[in-house]
């Protein structure tokens, strides 16, 4: 045996040893990943072509769930509301949390306290947040109506008025997610090299042009990340609907995730619910892929 | 002259900063303070006109009422067990996976990692029915036979609550990113000395990972503590309910009794709020270490 050969053998066995170790390290995590991520996604897709009462074996019914959904007003209401809910929250959150982040980027006395106050709503549960806001929105004794009346406005039925219910839910979600996104923007702002600002100063740029031509372009990946995470947060926000509105009034706050739950666990229509889940899943997957590109481009 | 004018201007800006930010921050935090004030007010003052901001006298009977009627003690034990269990599984298994992806070479590594990241943002809510079916049909659990039939599986149990979120992709990604930044010298030295990969992971890598373990530990704890949809689907038995489920049941029982409801809300939020106040810096780490830098 020549030296070269034995060396190659050595490298080969080292590689083998590494692959064996990797298998040991990965076997449990990948088992969980397959059982609770990959399999449910595929199974969900399959269920959408079946009639499934959640107990007996699913019966293949072809496209009939999809055809039913296309003619179902509840389905279209859920799609529409989910999109409106997501877009409204995104637009306001992006502007507001960037604004707050810029304001709180300077190290001034008390700035940590300000940041903490903005962040605090995002550490408490959506259930508690919903409870607190139902009390604020309460028509007779709620604080919001009381203040409105004081300054000369009509009190409102925030969660029972079909024109206001979705907006009321949107406001709560913005309130809860503002601080979280502020922290993301802060991290982004602090990651912009001073060099860029210095160069802009030398070129004679003022405050505004620095903001438009240095800050905003540098934050591009942050904007994308905020868009992705906020959309996902909104799409999976089941508790707020379950607790505050139950999808009502007249389906004006009904969302895809709420219909998945209701069809499967209240109406025992797992197959039909799976159609809503497939739509939800597809949207999340698209956002996940955007996120993947983001992480990869780092 | 010019200098002092500039100084004056910057002082003015700082003043403006506080004049605007103090009220805005006050409005943001006010709902939480209002919930607390409501919880310590005597019942009739909730509906008094004109509205009283502060209670005429502070009472804490709504808290004792909430603890007794809502069985918060029992729910707190349940939530703590599943949250801590989830911290344990997430730390161990995510760190293991992170190690394999950061430090080892094996065929198919990039494809596998890509697959993980591609599904990272797919939440449990989007596939809740199949997960429910998996947990209900768990072999040999809850009266099931070896094929997973006949019983209720892991529904209504701690493992049933923990398992679907036991290993998060976010956690694997967090560790993978962190381990990639650790210098290679120590582990290479250990490898030459014949140390096994498990030994390197356990004795060299993990001891350097304190901040990351704390970050993922805190986040997993809060995810589990605050989770609602999965417990709602998984739990039927009263004795197995988590704090969030308990709060919703409590509300259904006394729909208009806001003071004890706010008391219960404050009580179950104390844990996350305390965790946040004590471990603030780890929240920021959790965000910045996934590579989201400008």
* Domain carrying residue A13: 1-32
Task: Kindly write down the DSSP assignment for every residue of B70-97, as one continuous string.
Answer: TTHHHHHHHHHHHHHHHHHHHHHHHHHH
Whether A53 is in a domain gets the answer: no
- Chain A stretch 83-102, residues whose beta carbon is closer than 8 A to a beta carbon of chain B: none
Q: Residues A79, A27: one domain?
A: no
Instruction: Check whether residue A105 and residue A4 sit in a common domain.
Output: no
pLDDT of the residue at B128 = 94
CB contact at 8 A, A97 and A182: yes
Dihedral sign from CA coordinates of B276, B63, B40, A149: positive
Q: What is the pLDDT of residue B293?
A: 39
Same domain, A1 and A124: no
CATH number of the structural domain B66-288: 1.10.3720.10
Q: Do B169 and A141 make contact, defined as CB atoms within 8 angstroms? A: no
Q: What is the DSSP letter of B52?
A: P
Nearest to A288 among B118, B225, B276 (CB): B118
**Helix intervals (H) in chain A:** 3-33, 39-47, 64-70, 73-103, 111-119, 126-137, 143-150, 165-190, 194-202, 207-210, 216-218, 220-235, 238-240, 256-261, 270-296
Do A100 and A215 reside in the same domain of the chain? yes
A204 touches A170 (CB < 8 A): no
A46, part of any domain: no
Is-cis flag, bond preceding A249, omega within 30? yes
pLDDT in single tens digits along all 298 residues of chain A: 445 555 555 556 777 888 888 999 999 999 999 999 999 999 999 999 999 999 889 999 999 999 999 999 999 999 999 999 999 999 999 999 999 999 898 888 888 899 999 999 999 999 999 999 999 999 988 899 999 988 989 889 999 999 999 999 999 999 999 999 999 999 889 888 888 888 888 888 888 888 898 899 989 888 888 998 899 999 999 999 999 999 989 999 999 999 999 999 999 999 999 999 999 999 888 888 887 777 765 5
Residues A16, A75, single domain; the answer is no
Q: Which pLDDT score, from 0 to 100, does residue A112 have? A: 87
Total tally of structural domains belonging to chain A: 2
Residues of chain B with Cβ-Cβ distance to A175 below 8 Å are 28, 31
Degrees, nearest 5: CA angle B151-B155-B161: 155
Residues of A in contact with B124 (CB under 8 A): 36, 236
Q: What's the pLDDT score for residue A5?
A: 53
**Which of A236, A243, A242 is closest to A133 using CA atoms?**
A243
Look up the CATH number of the domain holding residue A118. 1.10.3720.10
> Is the domain of A28 the same as that of A71?
no
Residue A40 lies in a domain: no
Question: Which three-class secondary structure state does DSSP give residue B220?
Answer: helix
Domain ranges of chain B: 1-59, 66-288
Q: Identify which of B46, B164, B292 has the shortest CB distance to residue A187.
A: B292
Beta-bridged to residue A50, according to DSSP, are A60
Positions in chain B whose pLDDT score sits under 70: 1-4, 255, 289-294
Binary contact (A183, B126; C-beta < 8 A): no
Quote the minimal CA–CA distance from A201 to chain B in Å. 18
Residue A105 sits in the same domain as residue A219: yes
Question: Chain A partners of B47 at a C-beta cutoff of 8 Å?
Answer: 140-141
- Rounded to two decimals, the pTM is 0.90
As a whole number of angstroms, the distance between CA A220 and CA A98 comes to: 12
pLDDT of residue A220: 87
| Residue A205 covered by a domain | yes
Q: What is the pLDDT of residues A114-168, one digit of tens each?
A: 999 999 999 999 999 999 999 999 998 889 999 998 898 988 999 999 999 999 9
Is residue A202 situated within a structural domain? yes
Q: How far is B222 from chain A (nearest CA, A)?
A: 8
Tokens representing B120? 């990272």
Q: Do B121 and A242 touch (CB under 8 A)?
A: no
Sign of the Cα torsion B35, B40, B46, B51 reads negative
Measure in Å the smallest separation between the Cα of A258 and chain B Cα atoms: 9
Same domain, A226 and A165: yes
What is the C-alpha separation between A239 and B265, in angstroms, rounded? 14
Residue B126: its chain A contacts at CB < 8 A?
41, 44, 235-236, 257, 260, 277, 280-281, 284
Residue A48 lies in a domain: no
Interface touch B104/A124, C-beta < 8 Å:
no
- Which residues of chain A neighbour B34 with C-beta distances below 8 Å? 132, 135-136, 143
DSSP state, residue A106: S
């Amino acid at each position: 045996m020549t030296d070269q050969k034995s060396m190659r053998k050595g490298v080969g066995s080292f590689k083998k040893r590494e692959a064996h170790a990797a298998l040991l390290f990965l076997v449990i995590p990948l088992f969980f990943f397959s059982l609770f991520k990959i399999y449910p996604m595929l199974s969900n897709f399959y269920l959408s072509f079946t009639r499934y009462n959640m107990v007996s074996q699913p019966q293949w019914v072809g496209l009939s769930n999809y055809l039913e959904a296309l003619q179902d007003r509840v389905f279209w209401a859920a799609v529409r509301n989910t999109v409106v809910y997501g877009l409204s929250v995104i637009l306001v959150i992006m502007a507001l949390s960037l604004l707050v982040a810029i304001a709180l980027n300077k190290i001034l006395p008390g700035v940590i306290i300000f940041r903490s106050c903005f962040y605090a709503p995002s550490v408490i549960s959506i259930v508690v947040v919903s409870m607190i806001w139902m009390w604020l929105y309460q028509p007779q004794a709620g604080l919001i109506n009381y203040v409105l009346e004081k300054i000369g406005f009509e009190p409102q039925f925030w969660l029972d008025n079909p024109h206001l219910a979705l907006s009321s839910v949107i406001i709560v979600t913005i309130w809860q997610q503002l601080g979280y996104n502020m922290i993301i923007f802060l991290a982004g702002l602090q990651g912009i090299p001073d060099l860029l600002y210095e160069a802009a100063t030398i070129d004679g740029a003022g405050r505004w042009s620095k903001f438009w031509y240095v800050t905003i372009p540098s934050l591009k990946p942050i904007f994308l990340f905020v868009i992705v995470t906020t959309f996902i947060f909104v799409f999976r926000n089941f508790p707020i609907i379950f607790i505050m509105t139950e999808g009502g009034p007249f389906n004006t706050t009904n969302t895809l995730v709420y219909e998945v739950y209701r069809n499967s666990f209240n109406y025992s229509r797992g197959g039909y619910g799976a159609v809503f889940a497939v739509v939800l899943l597809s949207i999340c997957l698209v956002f996940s892929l955007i996120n993947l590109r983001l992480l990869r481009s780092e | 002259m010019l200098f002092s004018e500039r100084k004056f201007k910057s002082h003015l800006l700082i003043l403006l900063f506080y004049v605007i930010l103090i009220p805005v921050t006050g409005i943001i935090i006010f709902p939480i303070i209002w919930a607390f004030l409501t919880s310590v007010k005597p019942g009739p003052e909730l509906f008094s006109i004109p509205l009283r901001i502060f209670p005429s006298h502070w009472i804490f009977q709504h808290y004792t009422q909430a603890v007794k009627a809502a069985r918060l003690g029992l729910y707190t034990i349940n939530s703590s067990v599943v949250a801590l269990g989830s911290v344990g599984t997430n730390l161990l298994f995510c760190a293991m996976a992170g190690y394999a992806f950061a430090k080892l070479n094996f065929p198919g590594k990039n494809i596998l990692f890509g697959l993980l990241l591609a599904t990272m943002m797919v939440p449990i809510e989007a596939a809740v029915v199949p997960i429910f079916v998996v947990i209900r049909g768990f072999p040999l659990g809850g009266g099931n036979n070896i094929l997973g039939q006949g019983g209720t599986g892991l529904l209504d149990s701690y493992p049933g609550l923990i398992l679907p979120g036991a290993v998060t992709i976010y956690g694997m990604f967090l560790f993978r990113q962190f381990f990639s930044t650790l210098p290679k010298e120590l582990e290479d030295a250990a490898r030459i000395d014949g140390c096994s990969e498990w030994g390197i992971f356990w004795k060299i890598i993990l001891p350097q990972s304190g901040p990351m373990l704390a970050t993922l530990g805190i986040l997993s704890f809060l995810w589990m503590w605050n989770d609602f949809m999965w417990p709602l689907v998984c739990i039927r038995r009263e004795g197995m309910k988590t704090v969030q489920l308990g709060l919703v049941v409590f509300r259904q029982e006394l729909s208009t009794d806001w003071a004890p409801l706010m008391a219960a809300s404050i009580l179950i939020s104390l844990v996350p709020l305390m965790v946040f106040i004590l471990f603030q810096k780890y929240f920021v780490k959790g965000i910045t270490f996934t590579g989201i830098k400008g």
